[in-house]
């Protein structure tokens, strides 16, 4: 049985877990906007949204306060902490669930761990100054994602000779770097970074060959929910990409993904359970 030790809780990744997205940013695909214009309202709404996702079968909740969509502008560390920490504190106090913090900021990593976070999910693979050291101090599992460039620039003509090999090579190097710093390999998850510095062709090839990431020997996280790659194939806006997204979930689970990061939890849980029933 593969277990991630997430602070005071454990996460069984010998089976596929659904990670519910809780974005406390103004431009989320599914929440945010004017719901988060008032701090007390935002925390209450976020708590209700987390409760709903848990009831629908989410095994962990991923809380993020910095938009990393293509072209996104960076936010200050203080602004990110002001968005995330009150929500994390309420969820930790009131709900029995593993919380993941979607951040690259070492300051937030440390404070989130103090408030009960169970995992660190970093799109920059602990690349910011001090992030690796902070992650080691928390003792929490980490998810390392591949991204070419930065959120502000990543979709400006991304280029690879062999996207799958290059993603695997990057993640392998980051795994070694983390192990050398003191993070056990058994506490690391990898994410190929669909949509982060990749064209449609790159994304489809990564999904098709996702099982090649298994050679890294750690759990794989797949996050395709409502992403542009689905819109490009189906010519549909973000709020009409559920069916396409569920198709990518089936393919990811079949190819060994153990964490599926999504906005639409209930439908995804059904798809994961059905897919695993067939594969078992």
Summarised one tens digit per residue, pLDDT across range 139-151 is 999 999 999 876 6
pLDDT tens-digit readout, 154-165: 567 778 999 999
Residue of 226, 227, 241, 258 with catalytic role: 227
Could you give the angle at which helices 242-254 and 265-279 cross, rounded to 10 degrees? 30
Q: Is 227 a catalytic residue?
A: yes
Asked whether the predicted pLDDT for residue 36 surpasses 60, the reply is no
Tell me the CA distances in angstroms from 160 to 167, 198, 210, 221, one per residue in order.
Answer: 10, 9, 17, 21
pLDDT tens-digit readout, 108-122: 999 999 999 999 999
Sheet holding 119-122, edge to edge: 188-191, 142-145, 119-122, 98-102, 60-64, 17-23, 259-262, 221-222
Asked whether the predicted pLDDT for residue 31 surpasses 70, the reply is no
Asked whether the predicted pLDDT for residue 37 surpasses 80, the reply is no
Asked whether the predicted pLDDT for residue 135 surpasses 70, the reply is yes
Q: What is the pLDDT of residue 29?
A: 43
Q: Is 137 a catalytic residue?
A: no
Report the range of poorest mean pLDDT among 33-37, 54-58, 103-107, 244-248: 33-37
Q: How far apart, in whole angstroms, are the C-alpha atoms of residue 97 and residue 243?
A: 27
Asked whether the predicted pLDDT for residue 67 surpasses 60, the reply is yes
> Which are the contacts of 142, defined by CB distance < 8 A and separation ≥ 6?
119, 120, 121, 122, 126, 135, 178, 183, 187, 188, 189
What's the whole-model pTM score? 0.93
10-38 mean pLDDT: 74
Residue of 83, 226, 258, 261 with catalytic role: 261
Give, for 38, the enclosing helix (H) or strand (E): none
> Which are the contacts of 219, defined by CB distance < 8 A and separation ≥ 6?
2, 4, 13, 189, 190, 258, 259
Phi, psi of 171 (to 5 degrees): -65, -35
Q: Is 195 helix (H, G, I), strand (E, B) or coil?
A: coil
Q: What is the pLDDT of residue 33?
A: 37
Domains of the chain from N-terminus onward: 3-279 (3.20.20.20)
């Amino acid at each position: 049985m593969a277990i991630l030790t997430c602070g005071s809780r454990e996460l069984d990744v010998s089976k596929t877990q659904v990670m519910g997205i809780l974005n406390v940013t103004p431009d989320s695909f599914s929440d945010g906007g004017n719901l988060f214009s008032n701090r007390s309202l935002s925390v209450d709404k976020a708590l209700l949204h987390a409760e709903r996702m848990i009831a629908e079968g989410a095994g962990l909740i991923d809380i993020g306060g910095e938009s990393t969509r293509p072209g996104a502008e960076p936010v200050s560390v203080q602004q990110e902490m002001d968005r995330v920490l009150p929500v994390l504190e309420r969820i930790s106090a009131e709900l029995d669930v593993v919380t993941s913090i979607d951040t690259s900021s070492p300051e937030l990593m440390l404070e989130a761990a103090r408030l009960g976070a169970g995992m660190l999910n970093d799109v920059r693979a602990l690349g910011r100054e001090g992030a690796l050291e902070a992650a080691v101090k928390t003792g929490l599992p980490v998810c390392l994602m591949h991204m070419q460039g930065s959120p502000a620039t990543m979709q400006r003509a991304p280029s690879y000779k062999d996207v799958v090999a290059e993603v695997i090579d990057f993640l392998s190097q980051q795994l070694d770097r983390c192990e050398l710093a003191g993070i056990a390999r058994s506490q690391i998850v990898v994410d190929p970074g669909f949509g982060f510095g990749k064209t449609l062709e790159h994304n489809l090839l990564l999904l098709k060959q996702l099982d090649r990431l298994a050679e890294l020997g750690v759990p794989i996280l797949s996050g395709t929910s409502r992403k542009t790659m689905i819109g490009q194939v189906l010519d549909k806006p973000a709020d009409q990409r559920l069916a396409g997204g569920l198709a990518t979930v089936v393919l990811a689970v079949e190819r060994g993904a153990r964490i599926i990061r999504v906005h639409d939890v209930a439908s995804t849980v059904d798809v994961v359970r059905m897919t695993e029933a067939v594969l078992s």
